[in-house]
Chains A and B, each alone.
Chain A
Amino acid sequence: DSGVTQTPKHLITATGQRVTLRCSPRSGDLSVYWYQQSLDQGLQFLIQYYNGEERAKGNILERFSAQQFPDLHSELNLSSLELGDSALYFCASTEAGGPVGELFFGEGSRLTVL
């Protein structure tokens, strides 16, 4: 158990809909990272937050947005969903000043868009 909690574990929805994925980082971790894992794109970095502020942005679509709240949990919002958005979405966290590159991943939220 990594200590990172993601909900929901599975989500099935229709094209055009909007969903919210939630991540609770390990206790005390200030940084949260979102990754998308799909068969055709592999593991893609989406966005990073540090203590409530956006720190880095990757290949995140404009239809997607994220935020980190004062209690450090994070949400990834996916809107106007398309079939190609079907993927496993991972959240990871690290502590400030912790070992370089050692991310703790949640078990992911599997999104299926029909």
Chain B
Amino acid sequence: AQSVAQPEDQVNVAEGNPLTVKCTYSVSGNPYLFWYVQYPNRGLQFLLKYITGDNLVKGSYGFEAEFNKSQTSFHLKKPSALVSDSALYFCAVRDPVTGGGNKLTFGTGTQLKVEL
């Protein structure tokens, strides 16, 4: 079965510093990987995805993620964190196409806290 793991429940970073939120995956076949963000009392919002091609993908709000096949990782990064980036971040993988459409399996989430 497809799965993703987010090893950190919480990441703390100072504003202006780079941030990394980690994700590793386990899939059979080619991985379709995603990052979503959830702000308090809101639904999840799509940030970015990796389907194929360049290992560095860019997304919304200045976020990017690096796909690393040898390490089976898809870490979320941002060069300079903002306090407004504080939120819950989810890594996700799309299940095989066989009847699943866009069914996504999400990780447990990582709470990002950016402090002044």
Give min CB distance, A88 to chain B, whole Å.
9
Mask: chain A, 21-42; 1 = CB below 8 Å from B; 0 = not:
0000000000101010000001
Contact call A101/B32, Cβ cutoff below 8 A:
yes
Give complex CA distance A14, B92 in Å.
33
**A-B residue pairs in contact (CB < 8 Å), sample of 9:** A31-B101, A31-B102, A55-B100, A56-B95, A56-B99, A56-B103, A94-B101, A101-B49, A102-B46
Mask: chain A, 44-86; 1 = CB below 8 Å from B; 0 = not:
0100101000011010000000000000000000000000000
Residues of B within 8 A of A (CB): 32, 34, 41-46, 49, 51, 90, 92, 94-95, 99-109
Give complex CA distance A94, B46 in Å.
12
Contact call A100/B43, Cβ cutoff below 8 A:
no
Contact call A106/B102, Cβ cutoff below 8 A:
no
Give min CB distance, A66 to chain B, whole Å.
14
Tell whether A103 is near chain B: CB-to-CB under 8 Å: yes
Contact call B92/A45, Cβ cutoff below 8 A:
no
Contact call A55/B106, Cβ cutoff below 8 A:
no
Contact call B100/A100, Cβ cutoff below 8 A:
no
Mask: chain A, 86-97; 1 = CB below 8 Å from B; 0 = not:
000010101000
Give complex CA distance A104, B34 in Å.
13
Give complex CA distance A102, B51 in Å.
12
Give complex CA distance A50, B101 in Å.
9
Q: Which of A90, A101, A105 contacts B102 (CB 8 A)?
A: A101
Contact call A58/B103, Cβ cutoff below 8 A:
yes
Q: Which of B43, B92, B107, B108 contacts A90 (CB 8 A)?
A: B43
Contacts of B101 in A (CB 8 A): 31, 48, 50, 55-56, 94
Chain A to chain B: the 9 pairs with minimum beta-carbon distance, closest first: A105-B43, A43-B106, A105-B44, A42-B108, A102-B46, A56-B100, A107-B43, A56-B103, A101-B94
Contacts of A2 in B (CB 8 A): 43, 45
Contact call A100/B42, Cβ cutoff below 8 A:
no
Contacts of A99 in B (CB 8 A): 49
Give complex CA distance A15, B108 in Å.
27
